[in-house]
Amino acid sequence: MWQRSHQLTLRIYLSIKCGSISELEYQVLLAKELSYLSAALFEELTDEIIEIRKMICSFIQKIEIIIPHC
């Protein structure tokens, strides 16, 4: 029973992380539009956000293969 609960918790955690990275992306875009960020810093942050999103998505895909749906 614990294993199934742990797997569900991991899925929920990763889902929350996907939402968090989307919120961060919006906040960075808003900061740029309000001229709080330079174009160079905006590009740097956007590149980092994209890279982190790719890592999260890749991790989700890998655990979906290893851990079947509950």
Round to whole Å and give the CA distance between 47 and 53: 10
Q: Where are the domains of the chain?
A: 2-66
- Residue 14 exposure: Cα atoms within 13 Å on the Cβ side: 18
Q: For tokens 């900061």, what's the residue?
A: 31
CA distances from 3 to 6, 7, 46 (A): 5, 6, 36
Q: Which residue has the higher pLDDT, 60 or 40?
A: 40
Q: Which tokens hold the place of 35?
A: 């001229």
0.75 surpassed by pTM: yes
Residue whose structure tokens are 């979906």? 64
pLDDT tens digits for range 14-47: 889 989 999 999 999 999 999 999 999 999 999 9
